[in-house]
Every structure is written in structure tokens, then in C-alpha cells.
Amino acid sequence: MLEEKNDNLLEADGSAATNLPEIIQAETEVLEKLDVVETSNETIAEQVEEVAATVTDGESSSNNTIIDAIVDTNAEESEDETLKERHDIPMLDYEAMSLESLVDELKKLVTNEKVMSVKDHIEEIKKSFLAKYYHLLEEKKEEFLVENTDTNEEFQYHSPLKTQFDQYYTLYRDNKNTHFKSLQTNLKTNLENRLAIVEELKELINPQENIKDTLKHFNDLRERWKTAGPIPKDKYNHVWNNYHFHVENFYDYLHLDREARDLDFKHNLEQKQKIVARVEELINEADVNKAFRELQDLHKIWKEDIGPVSREHRDEIWNKFSDLTKQMHDKREVLFENMRGTELENLEKKKEIIAKIEVLATEKVNAHSQWLQQIEKVEALRTAFFSAGKVPSEVNEETWAAFKTAVRNFNSFKNSFYKDIKKDQNNNLNRKTALVAKAKELQESTDFAATTPIMKQIQEEWKQIGHVPRKYSDKIWAEFKEACNHYFDKLKEQKNEENSEEIEAFDKKKAYLETLREFQLTGEHKTDLDAIKAHIETWKSFGKVPFPRRHIEGKFNKVLDALFEKLSLSKKDGEMMRFANRIDSLSENNDSRKLENEKIFLMRKIDEIKNEIFQLENNIQFFTNTRNAKKENSIVLEVRKNIEKHREEMEILKDKLKQIRNLGQA
């Protein structure tokens, strides 16, 4: 009963004009049973006229459709007052939202709002979510079929978002059922109370009762009626009509003071004039939807809270109210037309997006990287489609179907490419499987010098091999990684053992360096030179030190440099001894990179000096070939000294280079 549409709502002001004769006849029969209806034709005619006035209140039939729509909404909201709140909750563009956003919005509405106030919102969310989810499901299934063409495995897809959506929607549905059960009970009770009030109204017509007591009882009944609560909407019109009829009947057949009734009519007229004045203000309200919503409330007040006016004002006041209602309706229709214009613009945007996707579904590309770019384009177009806004409702399904078809065609076109490269992925799987086997074979090797380059080469080969089928990717990578890690962990352990020896060498060199600082030359050239050479040999005997602590070699070289400075060695001899010590240190630490860099540096330096000597010799020729040059001047002499200095430096560099080359041959 709660979900049925009410087909018998009043047209306006408590009326049901379309069935007026039948209503009058039925109510007249009720009065006859109470034995209070006068039998004269004139009195019956007056009753017919009075009931007609009560039912129609001067309603004009020209606006029936508009009034019916308003009364229909008011009847529904009278049954469940929480429906009023739905107008205060904005209806968002759910079609433009992502699945994540839709779930978040559903959660917010279900947990924070009354269940019936968000009924329309949640149904729109459900419609948008399921449409997008099932579209996503189709795409995932197509991808699965591409990846699993050779197996009988059934397609399965689990989405946490779908689970969350089902959870919140189930909560909403349970809340709605609970609400309906409670509402059903209340509506039934309220209906019984209102019918009982009507029955008591009938019993008021008793000439034997004191008029003051009767009036007090009458006012009590009106107060009880106001607080009786909502009733089923399919009983709404009949009950309200019945109540109004017997209220009017009470006035008429007890022959109350006409002056009191006229005052009541006057009060009602003033109230209805205030409503008319308010509607005139609403005509100029900027927020048309808000104004129309208030208009609906004013219609309800007009019908439920305000009684009739005198016959002479009924048509005039009602027609004015009805005409203003039509003006508001027309203004709202203009707004809807503007919205429709926007929707048509959105439709054109979506058609353009669909057309672009259709083009992408025909552009053939032959590389995975290019397909990634195509996929990004389609994803961007998908986002633009959902963000484009609403389209006219009559083409919504058609537009959505065209979009799904375009995306599906693109996915099919894309999947055909990946089907073609499935063979390559299987070949890659075979190659990686072979590398896994090789890595497992070598993972226990202790010949680190020979095995380490091979393991590194295996890792490089792995990087060069392309993708394998997705369902094997994680498994084969885990096996390969485990084998490689196993070997290199053993290599690290071995290096850690070697490092203990290097640390011991460092400690010895550090202690020896302190004693060397105290060393003093005797003044005997040969004795002192042999002593320095002995120190160098002792230092070498300690062995390599850990890489992070090689700075100690620099400290040792500085001590040697200071000792060489005190010896009466030639510049060349001192330079060569220092160089030899440094090269020996690099050689012992197997630092081939630094040795190679040193070699390149010496070769470049020798070339630079050769060029400088050549340039200086050209300059001398210029000065000595001039006509007036009887002898070499000071500039020429300075240049010759400079040339000689460069030649000495070049000889030292050549000896250093020869020493490095001899080290490589050894």
C-alpha cells in the first residue's frame, strides 16, 4: 500500500471535483442515517451547493494537471514526512562520478540521512554504479579470455568496491524495510484515530446536548485531528473530504451564530490572502526549484490547515491562487527548457567522444608502448564522457549503449594485438625458465671469481627478455630472485670473511703510521733512502685495507713526501719514488679503474706538453728570424728555459706511463 501511486488525490483545497455528484450523494446518505437532514428539496439543494463549495472551493479546471501534480506530491509526503527532506539533499551528477566516489556517496547517505529522504538519490547511485561496474566486468572478462585462451579456467573477478557497495546498499534496504514496517503500523493506527474523530463529529449533532459542551468537544476534536499523524496516501483524499464535510455539517445543522461563522470565513480569507501574497513574492524568487517547493507546502497549508471562505470570495481567491501556481509552473518549465538545452549540448559532447573512441578502435599500432598510449587516450576519453554531464533522459540509454559499444570495439581491437604476441610471451617464458634453471645450478658454487660474472650476465639477460604470460610472471620471478639472492648472499659472506683480514691490515697500518711519524733521518743519504724503502716494503706487507678506510694510504704518502723533501734527491727521483708507491698501492687493491684513469691522465698530459713545446719553439723562430735580431734577447732566453722545463716534466710523465704499462704486462 505504501508503494502504490495514489490515483484519487484531491485537485485542490480538499476537493475531488471529477467525482463530485457521487461524493455529494454518498455524504448525503450518511446524514440521512443520522436523521438530521431536512427533507425539503430546497434544503437538499442548499446541501449540494454547500458540499460542492467545500469540495471545489472555486477551483478552475484549467490548471488541473499542475494542481494534480502538486497534490500528488503532498499526499505522498503526508504519508511519510521524511520524504520532505529529500528536496534539501542535492541530487548530484552521479553519472560523472567514479566507482570509488559513488561508494563514498552511498556510504555518506546511508549512514547520515533518513532512509526515505535519500530514496531517489540512492536509486540513481545504484543505477550509475551497476552500469559502470558491469561495463568494467565485461572488459576484465575480455582481458581474461585473451590471457587464458588455452585453458578451461573459469573467469572470476572480485572487486572490493562491489563488496562495499553491496554492504551499504543492503544496509539501506534493511533500514527501508524497517522504516516501512514501522510506518505501516503507525499509518494504520492514525487512520483508525482519524476515522474515530469523524465518527465523533457525526455524534456531535445532538440537540439535547448543551451548546457550550458541544463546542468544547468540537474544539477538542479539531485539536486531536491536527495531531493525529499521517495516514495511507490512498485514503488521504477520502478521509480529508469526509472530515471537512462533517465540520461544515456541524456548522450548518446546529444553526450556530452566523456572525461567528462569518468571522471564521473572514479569518480563513485573510490566511489565504497571505498565501496568495507570498506566492506573488515567490514568482520573483531566483531559486525557482526552492520557490516551487515552498509553493507545494503552501498548497498543503491551503488544503489541510485553512477552512473555507464565504461563497462570494471562493472563486476569486482560488482562481488567483491557481493562476499564480500556473505562472510558477511556467517559470519552472523555462528552467527545465534551459536545462534541456544544456543536456543537448552534453549529448553533442558525448557523441564527439564516442566518435573519437571509434576512430581509436581502427588505428593499428604494432608495439606495446604504442598501445599503452592508445589506452591512455581511451581512458582520458572515458573520463571526459563521464564528466560531460547529463543528456536528455529519452536518449540516455542509447548514448550509454553507443559508448559501451565503442569501448568494447576498442578493447577487442587491442586484444587481437595481444593475442598475436602471446607466442612471443611463451617464448620469453621458455627463455626465462632456462635462466632460472641455470641460476639454480650455480647458486651453490664456491668458485666466486668464475661464477660471479656468469650470474651477473644471467641477470642482464633476464632484463633484456620481454614479458611472459601474466599468470606465470610472479612465480617465475620469485624462483629466479631466490636463486640469485642465495648465491649473492654466499658471496657476501665470503667477502665479509675477507674484510676481517682487511680490517686487521688497517689496524696494523694505523699503528705503524704512528711509529713512522717519529722516524728521524740520520743525514746519511744512502742509509736514509734504504730506511725509507724498508718502511715502504713493511707497509705493503700489511696488505689491503677496507675500501671505506683507504684514506690511510693518503696519510702514509704525506709522511713519505715529507721524508723525501728532506732527502737530497733530484726532483725526478723523488717524484718517481712517490709515484711508484702510490701505483703499488692501487695495484694491491686491484683498483684497475683508477690505474686506467691514471694512465689516460698521463697520456693526455704528455700530449698537452708536446703541444706547448711546439708552440714555444715556433715563437722562438719568429724572434730569431727578424732582420734586426743580432742576439737573443731576454724574452727568447726565457722561452728557451720554459721549453727545457717542459721537456724535463715530459720525461717524468713518460717514465710514469712506462711504469704503469709495465705493471699491466706483469
| 3-state secondary structure labels for all residues of 181-246 | HHHHHHHHHHHHHHHHHHHHHHHCCCCCCCHHHHHHHHHHHHHHHHCCCCCCHHHHHHHHHHHHHH
Same domain assignment for residues 518 and 457: no
Q: Look up residue 582 and give its three cell numbers.
A: 702510490
Domains contained in the chain, number: 3
Q: Is 621 a domain residue?
A: yes
The pLDDT confidence band at residue 389, using thresholds 50, 70 and 90, is confident
Q: Is 110 a domain residue?
A: no
pLDDT at 593 over 60: yes
Same domain assignment for residues 591 and 560: yes
In angstroms, rounded to a whole number, what is the distance separating the alpha carbons of residues 54 and 355? Answer: 61
The pLDDT confidence band at residue 209, using thresholds 50, 70 and 90, is low
The pLDDT confidence band at residue 51, using thresholds 50, 70 and 90, is very low
pLDDT of residue 55: 39
pLDDT of residue 478: 92
pLDDT of residue 620: 76
Q: Which residue has the higher pLDDT, 614 or 35?
A: 614
The pLDDT confidence band at residue 89, using thresholds 50, 70 and 90, is confident
Q: Is 448 a domain residue?
A: yes
Ranking 50-54, 287-291, 293-297, 478-482 by mean pLDDT, the lowest is 50-54
Same domain assignment for residues 530 and 621: yes
pLDDT at 76 over 50: yes
Q: Where is the domain boundary, 497, 530, 552? A: 497
Please, are residues 316 and 58 in contact by the beta-carbon 8 Å criterion? yes
Stretch 67-85: mean pLDDT: 63
pLDDT of residue 588: 63
pLDDT of residue 32: 35
pLDDT of residue 34: 32
Q: Look up residue 25 and give its three cell numbers.
A: 450523494
Write the pLDDT tens digit of every residue in 512-534.
888 888 788 777 777 877 787 78
pLDDT of residue 477: 92
Q: Is 442 a domain residue?
A: yes
Ranking 70-74, 209-213, 406-410 by mean pLDDT, the lowest is 70-74
Q: Which residue has the higher pLDDT, 102 or 214?
A: 102
Same domain assignment for residues 367 and 403: yes
The pLDDT confidence band at residue 484, using thresholds 50, 70 and 90, is very high
Q: Look up residue 220 and give its three cell numbers.
A: 477538542
Q: Is 429 a domain residue?
A: yes
pLDDT of residue 288: 78
Q: Which residue has the higher pLDDT, 88 or 307?
A: 307
pLDDT of residue 148: 67
pLDDT at 116 over 60: yes
The pLDDT confidence band at residue 48, using thresholds 50, 70 and 90, is very low
Same domain assignment for residues 656 and 519: yes
pLDDT of residue 121: 84
Q: Is the pTM of this model over 0.85?
A: no
The pLDDT confidence band at residue 147, using thresholds 50, 70 and 90, is low
Stretch 212-228: mean pLDDT: 82
pLDDT of residue 585: 66
**Secondary structure percentages of the chain, helix, strand, coil, to 5:** 80, 0, 20
Q: Look up residue 327 and give its three cell numbers.
A: 505562472
Q: Is 154 a domain residue?
A: no
Which of 449-454's residues contact partners 24+ apart within 8 Å by CB, and which partners?
451/487, 452/491
pLDDT at 658 over 70: yes
First-to-last alpha carbon distance for the chain, in angstroms, is: 105
Q: Look up residue 329 and give its three cell numbers.
A: 509552473
pLDDT at 16 over 60: no
Q: What residues make up the domain containing 345?
A: 338-418
Q: Is 118 a domain residue?
A: no
Stretch 178-195: mean pLDDT: 80
How crowded is residue 263: how many other Cβ atoms within 10 Å of its Cβ? 11
Ranking 34-38, 220-224, 267-271 by mean pLDDT, the lowest is 34-38
Write the pLDDT tens digit of every residue in 405-442.
888 888 888 887 777 777 778 888 888 899 899 988 88
Q: Where is the domain boundary, 394, 418, 442? A: 418
Please, are residues 191 and 237 in contact by the beta-carbon 8 Å criterion? no
The pLDDT confidence band at residue 38, using thresholds 50, 70 and 90, is very low
pLDDT at 28 over 60: no
Same domain assignment for residues 435 and 505: no
Please, are residues 300 and 41 in contact by the beta-carbon 8 Å criterion? no
Write the pLDDT tens digit of every residue in 360-387.
888 888 877 888 888 888 888 888 888 8
Same domain assignment for residues 524 and 548: yes
With a pLDDT cut of 90, the percent of the chain lying above it is 2
Q: Is 113 a domain residue?
A: no
pLDDT at 40 over 70: no
Same domain assignment for residues 485 and 590: no
Stretch 105-118: mean pLDDT: 81
Q: Where is the domain boundary, 478, 497, 516? A: 497
Most confident of 43-57, 150-164, 391-405, 574-588: 391-405
Please, are residues 567 and 574 in contact by the beta-carbon 8 Å criterion? yes
**Length in residues, the chain:** 666
With a pLDDT cut of 70, the percent of the chain lying above it is 77
Q: What burial class does residue 337 get, using C-beta atoms within 10 Å of its C-beta: 0-12 exposed, 13-18 middle, 19+ buried?
A: exposed
pLDDT at 445 over 60: yes
Same domain assignment for residues 652 and 516: yes
Q: Which residue has the higher pLDDT, 434 or 285?
A: 434
Q: Which of 354, 355, 350 is nearest to 390 (CA)?
A: 350
Same domain assignment for residues 482 and 411: no
pLDDT at 494 over 80: no
Same domain assignment for residues 428 and 407: no
Same domain assignment for residues 470 and 611: no
Average pLDDT across the chain, whole number: 75
Cell 478521509: give the residue. 239
Stretch 318-342: mean pLDDT: 82
The pLDDT confidence band at residue 44, using thresholds 50, 70 and 90, is very low
pLDDT of residue 58: 40
